Amino acid sequence: MSSGSVAIFEEGPREGFQSEPPGIPTSQKIRLIEALAATGLSEINCCSFVDAARVPQMADAETIMAQLHRLPNVRYTGLWLNLKGFQRARASGADMKAVLVASASETFGLRNNNKTRAQLIDSQRALGSAYKDAGIDRVAGYVFTAFGCNYEGAIPVSNVTRSVQDLMTLGEECDLSFETMVLCDTIGVASPNGIARVIDAVRDRWPELDVALHLHDTRGMGMANALVGLQLGIRRFDASVAGLGGCPFAGNTAAAGNICTEDLVYLCHEEGFETGIDLSKLIACGLMAEEIVGRRLPGKIKDVRSL
C-alpha cells in the first residue's frame, strides 16, 4: 500500500556540472538533461545564470535552454542569485522557479554571495519586486547552511528560524507566498537528530509551510537524513543524478554532491512512496553522468544494478 508520493527535483545538470572542471561540452549536458526528463522527473535544474567569469562551467546557460528538446509536464529550470541573472533566465525561455535565499551562517553568506546576512536579504528585495512585476506570486525559499557551516561550525537553530523569518517578512513585503521552504545541508554536516531538531523548530513556528530538504552527502549521512525527513513528513527533496557535484564555495571542506537521485528513488520506493520515476531509466542516466565526467560517481544503486 502506498505511503503517498514524494517529489524529487533533479539538481545534477546544474549543481553537479557546476562543480566539475570547465569544458564539459554543451551537447553532453543537453544529452543528460533530455535523458533525465524521460525518466519521469517533473523538474530538472539545468544551469545557472551567474557570472561566467566566476563560474565558467555555466557560461553556456542560454545555449542549453535554446537547444533543449522539451517534454510536456517537465519543468526545465535554472538558478539565479540576482536581478541580472533573473532577467537572463526569463530571456532564455527557462521555466520560472523563482527563488529567494538566505544564509543561516553569516560567514558562508559572505563567501558564497559576497554579502552579509542583511545585505543578502536587501539584494533579494529587488528580486522580490521583479518577480511581482513579472506576474510571479509564488516563490521557493532556500536557507543555506541550515544544519552547520564549515566556517562557523554548528549553527544554532535560532539562526535558521531567523533566516526563515527574514524570508517570510520579505515575502510579505513583496506580496509573495512560498510554495516551499527548502532547508539546505549545504556542506553535508547534518545528522538525523539535527535534521529532526531543525524541521521541528521550523514547523512549530510556521506549521503551514511546506518544508523541503536539500541534502549533501559529505559525511555519508545523506540517506539516513533523507529517511528521517520522510518519517517526519517531508515530501520534497533535491537530489543529483549519481551523486554528481559538490559545493564550490565550501572552503577547505570537500563538500560532496547532493544525495544521489537513484538512491533516493530506491529508498522512497522501498519505503512505499510513489515518485513517478522509472528507476531503471534513472540508473542509465547515472551511468551516463559517469561517462560524461570520466570517472566513477558516488551513487550506490547504479553500481549494484549494473553488475
Positions marked active-site: 247
User: In sequence order, which residues have a C-beta less than 8 Å from that of residue 107 and are 6 or more positions away?
Assistant: 149, 151, 152
| Alpha-carbon gap, residue 224 to 191, rounded angstroms | 8
**Nearest CA to 278 among 10, 69, 41, 74?**
41
| Alpha-carbon gap, residue 143 to 190, rounded angstroms | 14
CA distances from 94 to 37, 61, 76, 78, 176 (A): 15, 10, 6, 6, 20
| Alpha-carbon gap, residue 181 to 202, rounded angstroms | 10
DSSP assignment string, 218-277? TTS-HHHHHHHHHHTT--EEEEBGGG--B-TT-TTS--B-BPBHHHHHHHHHHTTEE---
How many C-beta neighbours within 10 Å does residue 270 have?
A: 8
Task: For residue 58, give the DSSP letter.
Answer: G
Q: Which three cell numbers stand for residue 112?
A: 558564497
